[in-house]
Structure 1
Amino acid sequence: MPLSSVLQVKENRLRFPAADFLAICLLFSTLATACSSDLQQSALPAGATVLAFGDSVTHGNGAGPEEDYPALLAASTQWNVINAGIPGDTARKARQRIQALLVEHRPELVIVELGGNDFLRKRRPADVKEDLRAIVRQTLDFGATTVLVAVPHLSLMRAGIGSLRDADIYAQLAVEEGIPLITDVFSDVLSDEDLRADRIHPNAKGYKVLTEGFIEQLGEVGIYRD
């Protein structure tokens, strides 16, 4: 999982001796390596049940039947992928429905893609983060491997000019809960007008690119093996 940190220091406010700076760099490098090792997961076999839990992007708005990412993921991996995407769903609402889905489908893997509609409703990122945490903890308590999908901090203006990046809360939450994070894919797709049906949904080509990105990053943490 890509992990980055930006340290900004105003000139003449704070200075580090070279040796101290190198020691700090080594510390962060060691922590990053440890985190990467800790996030390695067992590979899911063909036929494993996967719950794709999310909103209209998981549902497949903007593309035709069998062109949504859960269908494409199932075709590529031979997993049994349940599409539990509801258009318009928010992290706040979704935390109330996850438990019933876990009991019904008993998934080995849950992919959580939520938060975009919360941002469009201008909810505080900190509140969205806590709703996502509640979902993640329910899936982990159930015993399912859990992967979080980083979503851009959506606004119609940012989407319109193709300037989207992952909201910070996803990397924070993934580190805090010790789970893999799929990064950049969603933001990159929605920043490319050739890959989207409208400002907030991929088109068929976009869902294909999205799925390929998901599979690549699931492979990086060992969940998918070709």
Structure 2
Amino acid sequence: MRGGSWKRRDFIAAGLAVPYGAVLPAMAAGTPVILVVGDSLSAEYGLKRGTGWVALLEQRLAREKIPGKVVNASISGDTTSGGRSRLPALLQQHRPTHVVLELGGNDALRGLPLAMTEDNLSQMAQAARKAGARVLVVGMQVPPNYGSDYANRFSGLFAKVAKEQQAGLVPFLLAGVADGADPTRLFQADRIHPREEAHPKMLDNVWPELKKLLK
């Protein structure tokens, strides 16, 4: 993540999930099921329910008359290790046709090894593909104070995983949000989590790549 004054902090755990029974009709009808496994950027941290980019995705699908069920299994504060441990049960429960992996930012905030982040994302993508789902890797960047070498290696690992796992790639979820002339304008007081008005742009960053996978 970039922009503003960034610092390491703990997050409040809050997850959103759709009950298993709600998925069965969609699967029976052959409707795509999109599972989003993310952190606070996808879990509507600090926002009114229904205003985050994942909720807006469901609205976008309906507006464009594209069948699809969205399952938001994002948890604020989650790391790639947490996502990796949760994924098998999520795949079994929801039987997704598409999996969006939006994790890694908290790994960087906590100073976790880049090799571990890369391996976790790779294993998650591989597990999703083996379960029959198409995968979209959503990339993140870190603020400049991390140093250019670390920042480049961190942002690069998402592209590497996507290429190796034959997955789609969103290079930077917060493009146009965290890298503008005044990025703090689009962030909450903690300068980590985007405000409600930033989430349509976040969806615009994800949508073109996800739409390719839905065809």
TM-score (norm 2): 0.73
2:85 is equivalent to residue 85 of structure 1: no
Measure, in 2, the Cα distance between the counterparts of 1:62 and 1:69. Answer: 13
Q: 1:186 to 1:165 in 2, by over 3 A?
A: farther
Measure, in 2, the Cα distance between the counterparts of 1:142 and 1:205. Answer: 35
Query: What is residue 116 of structure 1 aligned with on the other side?
Result: 105
Superposed CA RMSD in Å reads 2.5
Measure, in 1, the Cα distance between the counterparts of 2:154 and 2:174. Answer: 8
Measure, in 2, the Cα distance between the counterparts of 1:46 and 1:223. Answer: 15
Q: 1:194 to 1:166 in 2, by over 3 A?
A: farther
The aligned amino acid for 1:144 is: A
Query: What is residue 132 of structure 1 aligned with on the other side?
Result: 121
The aligned amino acid for 2:32 is: A
Aligned-residue offset at 1:217: 2.9
Query: What is residue 49 of structure 1 aligned with on the other side?
Result: 33
Moved over 6 A (4+): 163-166
Q: Deviations over 1:77-105 (max 9, x none)?
A: 13211110111111012111101011111
TM-score (norm 1): 0.70
Q: 1:73 to 1:166 in 2, by over 3 A?
A: farther
Q: 1:205 to 1:46 in 2, by over 3 A?
A: farther
Query: Which residue, out of 153, 169, 176, partners 1:181?
Result: 169
Measure, in 2, the Cα distance between the counterparts of 1:107 and 1:91. Answer: 19
Q: How many residues align?
A: 174
The aligned amino acid for 2:194 is: P
**Where does the alignment leave 5 or more consecutive residues of structure 2 unmatched?**
1-28, 63-67
Calculate percent identity across the aligned residue pairs.
29
Q: Which structure has the bigger radius of gyration?
A: 1
Q: Deviations over 1:6-61 (max 9, x none)?
A: xxxxxxxxxxxxxxxxxxxxxxxxxxxxxxxxxxxxxxx99421101111111011
SS in 1 for 2:41: helix
2:182 is equivalent to residue 202 of structure 1: no
Measure, in 2, the Cα distance between the counterparts of 1:80 and 1:207. Answer: 19
**Where does the alignment leave 5 or more consecutive residues of structure 1 unmatched?**
1-44
Q: 1:118 to 1:60 in 2, by over 3 A?
A: same
The aligned amino acid for 1:213 is: N
Instruction: Choose 122-131 or 195-204, whichever is displaced more.
Output: 195-204
